[in-house]
Amino acid sequence: MTGGKKISEALEEIVDRSYTFMHICGTHEAAIARSGLRSILPEGIKIVMGPGCPVCITPQGEIDAALELADKGCIIATYGDLMRVPGTKGSLNSCGGDIRVVQGVHKAVEIAQKTDKEVVFISIGFETTAPTVAAVILENPPENFSILSCHRFVPPAMKFLLEQGEAKLDGFLLPGHVCVVTGYKEYEQFPVPQVVGGFEPEEILLGLYMLVKQANEGRHEVENAYPRAVLREGNQKAMEMLYKVFETCDVEWRGFPVIPDSGLALKNKYKQYDALKKFDVEIKHVEKHSACICDRVLRGIADPSDCKLFFKACTPNNPIGPCMVSHEGACKIWAVYNHKK
Ligand code: SF4
């Protein structure tokens, strides 16, 4: 099979019922929306978004902790997307503190090297970004540098989604970028069809074809439709570095309760770089009050257009929830590409 057309024809031939597949990656959603892929899928196939945007799944309590650190006089270094995510009392963008947009942890360290002030890097991301942060911590950054670790691991959230059963999933299109680092051994525990997906429309179609085939044949395996980048073992060196510095911890995700072992905290050996410990800041649970349904979008049980605020009160210029802020957020992607169900 070569080319998107042939794959889509082959897919059409094997679809014999309804299937709901979830991807857990903002880049997958962007590729699907940009190419209009949903419009050419056979009627029975539904692709839903999961908790695949690191900015979106960062709960309000962590944004509030970042705001508290800014309030304590720390320079906050963060990715641009996080600036406009609302906390309980405004956003980093509007808090009046010294907030610097950086492209990565190395830039935050550079800021710390040039000042006597405390610099806190808001360290968000999945398994893809955590090894880079670990490498920086192992290089002994300056004493006035620390991180607020908001990292998350993908498999525990998938386990939660499957156990809870709310989204009635027939399988997962696994996040190619994450699997480059982690490999896909960890996913073999799940009793549903799974395929590691690339990011070109043809690669996503191939992933869907493989998922339908597995589902039809009653197989529950992890297959790899992105072999040019992903190995089953992943990047072991990166994972070793990650576990040298971090240990798993139980954390809340936006839209999810506390999920066991789904977060990463600095090991005690590196506690001097842990902003929560250094500045005695606590992450608190914040009850949701707005009409924003990001929580449901992140659990795969609602589409952005199901939200009554979508493209009315909530737009990319005036975002109400994190899914409209981040370029990996489903609402922003649907708004930018004028995407429909
Ligand atoms: S459209 Fe806005 S308010 Fe609605 S779910 Fe998306 S981010 Fe939240």
Pocket-testing residue among 91, 303, 309, ligand 1, by greatest number of atoms within 8 A of Cβ: 309
Does the structure show a pLDDT above 90 at 287?
no
Tell me if 55 CB under 6 Å of ligand 1.
no
Give me the half-sphere count of Cα atoms (radius 13 Å) on the Cβ side of residue 108: 32
The reply to whether 141 and 246 lie within a common domain is yes
Q: Sign of dihedral through CA atoms 224, 225, 231, 234?
A: negative
Q: How many beta carbons lie within 10 A of that of residue 233, not counting itself?
A: 11
pLDDT for the residue 341: 67
pLDDT for the residue 94: 92
Does the structure show a pLDDT above 80 at 288?
no
The reply to whether 24 and 145 lie within a common domain is no
The reply to whether 100 and 138 lie within a common domain is yes
Q: How many beta carbons lie within 10 A of that of residue 89, not counting itself?
A: 12
Interval 15-43: pLDDT, tens = 999 999 999 999 999 999 999 999 999 99
The reply to whether 47 and 69 lie within a common domain is no
What is the count of structural domains for the chain?
A: 2
pLDDT for the residue 338: 80
Tell me if 294 CB under 6 Å of ligand 1.
yes
The reply to whether 115 and 145 lie within a common domain is yes
Where does the pLDDT of residue 6 fall: very low under 50, low under 70, confident under 90, or very high at 90 and above?
A: confident
The reply to whether 74 and 95 lie within a common domain is yes
Tell me if 324 CB under 6 Å of ligand 1.
yes
Tell me if 59 CB under 6 Å of ligand 1.
no
Please give the residue range of the domain that contains residue 194. 3-54+154-224
CATH number at residue 125: 3.40.50.11740
Strand partners, 266: 246
pLDDT for the residue 187: 97
Q: What is the mean pLDDT of the chain?
A: 95
Interval 192-248: pLDDT, tens = 999 999 999 999 999 999 999 999 999 999 999 999 999 999 999 999 999 999 999
Buried-exposed string 34-72: b where 16+ CB fall within 10 A, e elsewhere: ebebeeebeeebbbbbbbbbbbbbbbbbbbbbbbbbbee
Residue nearest ligand 1's atom 7 by CA? 321
The reply to whether 72 and 26 lie within a common domain is no
Atom of ligand 1 nearest to the CA of 297: 5
What pTM was estimated for this model as a whole? 0.93
Tell me if 293 CB under 6 Å of ligand 1.
yes
Distance from the Cα of residue 68 to its chain's centroid: 24
Judge residue 23's burial from the number of C-beta atoms within 10 Å of its C-beta, 0-12 exposed, 13-18 middle, 19 or more buried: buried
The reply to whether 240 and 147 lie within a common domain is yes
pLDDT for the residue 249: 97
Question: How far is the first Cα of the chain from the last one, in angstroms, to the nearest whole number?
Answer: 27
